[in-house]
Amino acid sequence: MTQEKKILVVDDEPKIVDIITMYLKKDGFLVRTAYNGRDALKVFREWKPSLIILDLMMPEMTGEQTCEAIRKESNVPIIMLTAKSDENERIKGLSIGADDYLVKPFSPRELVVRVRTVLRRFQPNELLADILSFNDGELEIDATRHEVKIKGKVVDLTPNEFKLLLVLAKNPHRTFNRTELLEKVQGYNFEGYDRTIDAHIKNLRKKIEEDQKNPKYVKTVYGMGYKFDGN
């Protein structure tokens, strides 16, 4: 898998960029770098990376602004790097479209593992599901093409949002608590920050529900977690 995967590393600290690049190349990834958000967008558009590692705190154009700009054009997986350990900052990063985050200082080996994990979640052939159709075709989930349609119109979901929807839809009417969903979507222990699921659910509802306050598909089970309803 790693032989053909292209990783864009974006950080304003050259030393960190060099270390990350060294570890990624050692693991077989193709790597390009940028030291600010504007250059990152240019490389992203020209090179079309498989995944982006993006620093949150950068001059001129912040990581958040860069992430939001990328999300308007693509659902490419994004791992956010941040020096902020505050939970609310992590939640904010995930809510604007990041698929994972890592707090500085971090282990380069752990970052490589996270890159592999996020890319693995993005592989359609690992989702092992047929096309799921609900409410007479109003909602369609195609795991092979990694595509979701509402009333025939394609909806752009991030890898995490897609996997979350697929997990819920493959188990209709079953209630999942937040920890269970984290394990199924993230693939590893998220150190207790189960509120990240709330951020993903909120974004998912914006994209697939007509009425977010009274959702038809992804419903809250108060005091428990979430479940999927659909015929």
**Is there a single domain that holds both residue 118 and residue 135?**
no
Alpha carbon distance 198, 169 (integer Å) = 17
Q: Domain boundary at 122, 143, 163, which?
A: 122
pLDDT tens, 78-117?
999 987 666 666 676 677 778 888 888 899 999 999 998 8
3-class SS at 35? Answer: coil
The residue out of 96, 122, 148 marking a domain boundary is 122
What is the 8-class DSSP label of residue 95? H
Count of domains observed in the chain: 2
CATH number, domain with residue 65: 3.40.50.2300
Same domain, 16 and 105: yes
96 with 150, same domain? no
Q: How many residues does the chain have?
A: 231
Q: Tell which of 122, 153, 182 closes a domain.
A: 122
**Residues 67, 54: contact at Cβ < 8 Å?**
yes
Kindly state whether residues 49 and 103 are assigned to the same domain. Answer: yes
Residue 1 resides in a domain: no
Tell whether 94 and 168 lie within a shared domain. Answer: no
185: in domain:
yes
Residues ≥6 apart with Cβ < 8 Å to 198: 91, 178
Q: Which of 45, 63, 62, 39 is nearest to 53 (CA)?
A: 63
Rounded to whole angstroms, how far apart are CA atoms 143 and 58? 36
Higher pLDDT among residues 190 and 81, named by residue:
81
The parent domain of residue 171 ranges over: 131-228
| CATH classification of the domain holding 146 | 1.10.10.10
- 144-187 pLDDT, tens digit per residue, is 778 899 988 999 888 888 889 988 988 888 898 888 888 777 66
